[in-house]
Amino acid sequence: MAEPRSRVGVVGPKDIYLGFKSLGLKVVDARTPREAEAAIQALASEGAAIIFVAEELAQGLGPLIERFSQQPSPAIVMIPDHRGSLGLARERLRRLVEKAVGIDLLAEGR
C-alpha cells in the first residue's frame, strides 16, 4: 500500500462515544475541555487524520481548533452528543464562509 493509513479519533465522554470503538475508531475519554485538549494533542501527534470532538467540549477549545484548522492534518470535526446539535459547527462554518467571501453570505435564511 503506497498510501499511508491513518487513525481516526473520537474525543468526548466515553459513555456516549464508546460505540464508535467497534468501528475501529480510537475513542479517548474526555469530560472537560482541558482533557479534550490533551487528548486532541495526543491523537494529533499519533498521526490521526481525523479527530471528532464532542461539540460541548470543543466550545472551550477555540484557539486550539483554530490552530489545527490551518494545517492540512488533522481534521478536527465537531460532533453532537445524544442531546442534539448545539449549532456550533454551523456557526463555525458560517464564519469560514464570511472569511472566504469577505461578507456574511449565509446571514439571512439561516
Partner 1 sequence: MEVRVNATRMELLRQKKRLAMAQRGHRLLKQKRDELMHRFMELVEQRRGLRERVEEALVLGFRSFLVARAEMSKEVLYEALMTGGDMADRAGAPLLAVRMDSVMNVQVPRFALQDSREPYAYGLATTSAELDRALTTFSEVLPELIKLAEIEKAMELLAEEIEKTRRRVNALEQILIPQLEQTIKFIYMALDEMERSSRAQLLRIKEIIRGA
Footprint on residues 83-102 left by partner 1 (CB under 8 A): 83-85, 89-90, 93, 96-97, 99-102
Alpha-carbon distance 40 to 11, whole Å?
Answer: 7
110 binds partner 1 (CB under 8 A): no
For the record, the C-alpha cell of 85 comes out as 446539535
38 binds partner 1 (CB under 8 A): no
42 binds partner 1 (CB under 8 A): no
Q: Which residue's CB is nearer to partner 1, number 35 or number 98?
A: 98
Q: Are 46 and 7 in contact (CB under 8 A)?
A: yes
User: Can you tell me whether residue 34 is helix, strand or coil?
Assistant: helix
- Give the range of 29-37, 56-64, 74-82 binding partner 1 by CB under 8 A: 74-82
Q: How many CB atoms lie within 10 A of CB 64?
A: 18
